[in-house]
A and B are shown apart, each in its own frame.
Chain A
Amino acid sequence: MNNTINNTRRLVTSRGIHLLVCSLSIITSIPLVFIIGKVFFEGIHNLNLQFITKPTPNTFNAMIAINNGENIPGGIANGIVGSFIMLILASIIAIPIGILCGTYLAENRHNKFAKCISYMTDLLQGTPSIIIGIVVYAWVVIPSHGYSAIAGSIALAVMMLPLIVRSTEEALKMLPDSLKESSLALGGSYGKTILKVLLPSASGSIFTGVLLAVSRVVGETAPITFTALGCSMVHWNIDQPMSSIPLLIWQFYNDPILQPLVWSASLFLLIFVLFINISAKIINNKSKK
């Protein structure tokens, strides 16, 4: 009799905890649902072809359009092009350095110097982006006498670096030792082993890491304001100031007339980031097969 009561109590406790865990899990996903929902419904009506092909409108034209009951003319083409150029440049800077550094860390796990580098990578990852922006301003913008897309790319590259280093290191650590040994056992040199066997074998995970790094920095606003400044025209000169999508969101927010565009630009950025994240996930799953 006593036993039955005990069992019932255990069953109830177990069910209760299960319910609690489930509901807490749901709570975690609620913010995401609200974010996507809100941005989607507010942003969708301005998100049209003109929005992604025209540069930022000036306030005056926007005001006239609003008074006439028309859509605000212009969009975020300058931001899209700017983000695109700066992400490419940042990747060109950060990917080779990050992969080499990650390889070094994975190959010298017990080395004191490597441990020191690894710790510094962690610190860099935790450095607030605005500080990275200020430092790049002081080291690149001031000596070169002007804001530029290059300066913006350097700031983004610095932010991408620790993420690429970590993901390369982790990807290489996941490979079995026997892979490296069998390459060396064939008389392969250390360099060839890394270039022809280890890095290609881990390429799926490394590429995923790079994509995630891109999706992390694509939304960065603070370092861009200090370095690339922003620009209302579409152009391809990397030594000139340039805009980016998050920078435009910030500018739209600060301009009462252009405020409706905040949501559409946010929606575009959100779709872009989700797209990169989902691609990363797919590539990662494929490379694991």
Chain B
Amino acid sequence: MSNNIIEIKNLNISYSSNVLSVKNVNANIIKNEITAIMGPSGCGKSTLLRAINRMHDLYNNIKVDGQIFLNGTDIMKMQAIDVRRKIGMVFQRPNPFPNMSIAENVLAGYTLNGLHLNKHEKAEIIERCLKSVGLWEEVKDVQTKKGTFLSGGQQQRLCIARALALQPEVLLMDEPTSALDPIATARIEELLLELKKDVSIIIVTHNMGQAKRIAYNSMFMYLGELIEYGDTQKLFNNPMHEQTKSYLAGHVG
């Protein structure tokens, strides 16, 4: 218990009445580490990830069954808004709010929650968050420009800064580098390794190399089931299940 920030128990998710997209998943996520979720397309990895900050609430047809504990509290019983403040999310494509400047994007979490800050607090948050994603030096003189004016990799780092501004306990990332080039990807990976001292990270990735490079623990999912979960190096070097082996060998997915 002590070391787990999130505990998932008997989680089932379905998009339509008969088909389960996530089947009876049980997993504990370790605090201040990076946990990767891998698996072929359509295996339910994004579906699982999005359950953790109650994104499925937005769609009436999706049914989520089971329990997810954040520090021992069942998030299914919390207000969705409170859950999302504590569990941030970064999406596949960089999506800074097009109507806001770089600085406003960082502060968006506060604006959207109706939290008022004075000038000094604002400046402090902007600087802290942009520094933590390594964007401060690049954008400190152009903070009033639109966020969409940055390059793809910079935009994604801005989105991470935006998610970090509210100081979440967990950061969910849904293939955050799949739309980026290798150099931008490497920078984000470096960044995640630095960030994990402050925030626990769960990352969905298609890229096995990425999981191997940055994740402490890795999950392998197949057809909605959690096939294998454990130490990343062990999972890659010595997978216990046939399906994991064939996925890693490139036969599935």
A83 to chain B, nearest CB (A): 32
Q: Cβ of B95: which chain A residues have Cβ within 8 Å of it?
A: 176, 178-179, 182
Determine whether the beta carbon of A197 is less than 8 Å from that of B112: yes
A178 to B89, CA, bound (A): 11
A184 to B88, CA, bound (A): 10
The stretch from B116-124, B135-143, B158-166, B192-200 touching chain A is B158-166
B58 to chain A, nearest CB (A): 7
Determine whether the beta carbon of B112 is less than 8 Å from that of A181: no
Q: Cβ of B166: which chain A residues have Cβ within 8 Å of it?
A: 186-187
Provide the main secondary structure of the chain A interface.
Answer: helix
A185-B55, A200-B99 known; A178+B112 contact, CB < 8 A: no
In A144-201, which residues have CB < 8 Å from any B CB? Answer: 176, 178-189, 192-193, 196-197, 200-201
Q: Does B81 contact A (CB under 8 A)?
A: yes
Q: Cβ of A193: which chain B residues have Cβ within 8 Å of it?
A: 112
Q: Cβ of A221: which chain B residues have Cβ within 8 Å of it?
A: none
Q: How large is the interface on B (under 10, 10 to 19, 20 to 34, 35 or more residues)?
A: 20 to 34
A178-B95, A201-B98, A203-B99 known; A183+B112 contact, CB < 8 A: yes
Point out the residue from A176, A179, A187, A201 that lies within 8 Å of B112, measured CB to CB.
A187
Closest to B81 in A: A187
Determine whether the beta carbon of A196 is less than 8 Å from that of B91: no
Q: Does B9 contact A (CB under 8 A)?
A: no
Closest to A203 in B: B99
Q: How large is the interface on A (under 10, 10 to 19, 20 to 34, 35 or more residues)?
A: 20 to 34
In B59-115, which residues have CB < 8 Å from any A CB? Answer: 81-82, 84-85, 88-89, 91-93, 95, 97-100, 108-109, 111-114
Q: Cβ of A185: which chain B residues have Cβ within 8 Å of it?
A: 53, 55, 84, 88-89, 91, 163
Interface hub of A179, A188, A201 (most chain B Cβ within 10 A)? A188
Determine whether the beta carbon of B82 is less than 8 Å from that of A182: no
Determine whether the beta carbon of B99 is less than 8 Å from that of A182: no
B130 to chain A, nearest CB (A): 16
A192 to B114, CA, bound (A): 8
Determine whether the beta carbon of A187 is less than 8 Å from that of B91: no
Closest to B112 in A: A188
Q: Cβ of A197: which chain B residues have Cβ within 8 Å of it?
A: 97, 99, 108, 112
Q: Cβ of B114: which chain A residues have Cβ within 8 Å of it?
A: 189, 192
A100 to chain B, nearest CB (A): 19
Closest to A195 in B: B112
Determine whether the beta carbon of B99 is less than 8 Å from that of A186: no
B12 to chain A, nearest CB (A): 22
Point out the residue from B85, B113, B159 that lies within 8 Å of A182, measured CB to CB.
B159
A281 to chain B, nearest CB (A): 20
Closest to B92 in A: A178
B168 to chain A, nearest CB (A): 9
Interface string of B161-193 (1 = CB under 8 A from A): 011001000000000000000000000000000
Give B contacts to A, CB under 8 Å. 53, 55, 58, 81-82, 84-85, 88-89, 91-93, 95, 97-100, 108-109, 111-114, 159, 162-163, 166
Give A contacts to B, CB under 8 Å. 176, 178-189, 192-193, 196-197, 200-201, 203
Q: A176-B95, A182-B162, A187-B85 are in contact. List 14 more A-B contacts (CB 8 A).
A: A180-B58, A181-B91, A183-B97, A183-B108, A183-B112, A185-B84, A185-B89, A186-B162, A187-B81, A187-B84, A189-B81, A189-B112, A192-B111, A201-B99
